[in-house]
Homo-oligomer: A and B are copies of this chain.
């Protein structure tokens, strides 16, 4: 059986036809143009679905279902999207609207959740029953897989791993609380700490790389400088790893998954990041002699959204 996966983002819509193993047979994209009424966006999604089915050389009858990953929260029971800040959507009856165009079962779930699900079927955590996917980007998103299925909680507001509180009274968060995991484990956290650090250490290589303008600092610059041994960058990186490790320990102590998968922009730092996180997590583990979650880098990259959304119907 085949499945259509839709990765709905604030900028672009990506659609692919995917088989049971999570292999992509065809894929394409179109701009979201989110300022339009949602009905038009959904009509475009449906059109792209039809084109991708054609491009894959299959028929609509071969498709079991359509799955959609949304950058917001979803009520997977009613098919309504109560909130999607990125798209400016509020109480959008997504599934009903989609079915006006294509008469197939439609599943919706959060984009980080479906990306984690994709990794658990066709990526680094393939074959595991439980995993937690952490996207280390501008913010920190999460995808929980339990008993081999995505888990978004009872009201669809779970797996907001970025808003676990790891530092009560710590850094102020966009959510209104203080000390959320996101404030320590996102690219934004690296940039914030680097700006503070270069103010005290203008001699840092970070300043050279950003052309002397701290506003141009990004996470890659800081991590590259840390790799090359710049002491200021190293200090920022170490603090980042400490926060990340503390959040991972909370996940291990509560959920004890088989695998924790690191994705998102910061995970592009590869083994330099992975080795540092593993080293930092080890001494914090509660039951020292018991096995615990493996920590791995995501493998599916930008295709995870399409694959995971498609496999929601599996």
User: For chain A, what secondary structure do more than half of its interface residues adopt (helix, strand, loop), or is it mixed?
Assistant: loop
Whether A290 and B83, one on each chain, are in contact in the complex, defined by CB atoms closer than 8 angstroms, is yes
**A and B contact pairs by CB, cutoff 8 A, 21 listed:** A73-B287, A82-B287, A82-B289, A83-B290, A128-B154, A130-B154, A144-B254, A146-B146, A146-B147, A147-B147, A154-B257, A160-B253, A160-B286, A161-B254, A163-B249, A164-B254, A166-B168, A167-B179, A168-B242, A176-B283, A251-B254
Query: What are the residues of chain B within 8 A of A283 when measuring CB–CB?
Result: 176
Q: Among residues 139 to 158 in chain A, which have CB atoms less than 8 Å away from a CB atom of chain B?
A: 142, 144, 146-147, 151-158
Nearest CB in chain B to that of A288: its residue: B176
Is residue A175 within 8 Å, beta carbon to beta carbon, of the partner chain? yes
Is residue A230 within 8 Å, beta carbon to beta carbon, of the partner chain? no
Is residue A293 within 8 Å, beta carbon to beta carbon, of the partner chain? yes
Q: Among residues 270 to 301 in chain A, which have CB atoms less than 8 Å away from a CB atom of chain B?
A: 283-284, 286-287, 289-293
Q: Among residues 249 to 279 in chain A, which have CB atoms less than 8 Å away from a CB atom of chain B?
A: 249-258
Whether B73 and A290, one on each chain, are in contact in the complex, defined by CB atoms closer than 8 angstroms, is yes
Cα separation A252 to B156 with both chains bound (whole Å): 11
Q: Residues of A with Cβ closer than 8 Å to B?
A: 73, 82-83, 128-130, 142, 144, 146-147, 151-161, 163-170, 175-177, 179, 184, 242-243, 246-247, 249-258, 283-284, 286-287, 289-293
Whether B147 and A287, one on each chain, are in contact in the complex, defined by CB atoms closer than 8 angstroms, is no
Contact check: which of B147, B158, B242, B256 meets A158 at CB < 8 Å? B256
Whether B158 and A255, one on each chain, are in contact in the complex, defined by CB atoms closer than 8 angstroms, is yes
Whether B256 and A152, one on each chain, are in contact in the complex, defined by CB atoms closer than 8 angstroms, is yes
16 further contact pairs, Cβ within 8 A, besides A146-B146, A177-B249:
A128-B154, A153-B256, A154-B256, A154-B257, A155-B290, A157-B252, A157-B286, A157-B292, A163-B250, A165-B246, A167-B168, A168-B243, A175-B286, A177-B284, A250-B250, A254-B255
- Which 8 pairs, one residue from A and one from B, show the smallest C-beta to C-beta distance? A153-B256, A158-B256, A160-B253, A164-B250, A163-B253, A154-B258, A167-B168, A155-B291
Nearest Cβ on chain B to A248's Cβ, whole angstroms? 10
Of A165, A252, A291, the most chain B CB neighbours within 10 A belong to: A165
Cα separation A248 to B17 with both chains bound (whole Å): 40
Nearest CB in chain B to that of A144: its residue: B254
Nearest CB in chain B to that of A170: its residue: B168
Whether B129 and A154, one on each chain, are in contact in the complex, defined by CB atoms closer than 8 angstroms, is yes
Nearest Cβ on chain B to A233's Cβ, whole angstroms? 21
Nearest CB in chain B to that of A284: its residue: B177
Query: What are the residues of chain B within 8 A of A83 when measuring CB–CB?
Result: 287, 290
Q: Given that A83-B290, A146-B151, A151-B146 are contacting pairs, would A256 and B177 also be in contact in the complex, using a CB cutoff of 8 Å? A: no
Cα separation A54 to B82 with both chains bound (whole Å): 56
Query: What are the residues of chain B within 8 A of A176 when measuring CB–CB?
Result: 283-284
Query: What are the residues of chain B within 8 A of A258 when measuring CB–CB?
Result: 154-155
Whether B157 and A287, one on each chain, are in contact in the complex, defined by CB atoms closer than 8 angstroms, is yes
Contact check: which of B155, B168, B293 meets A246 at CB < 8 Å? B168
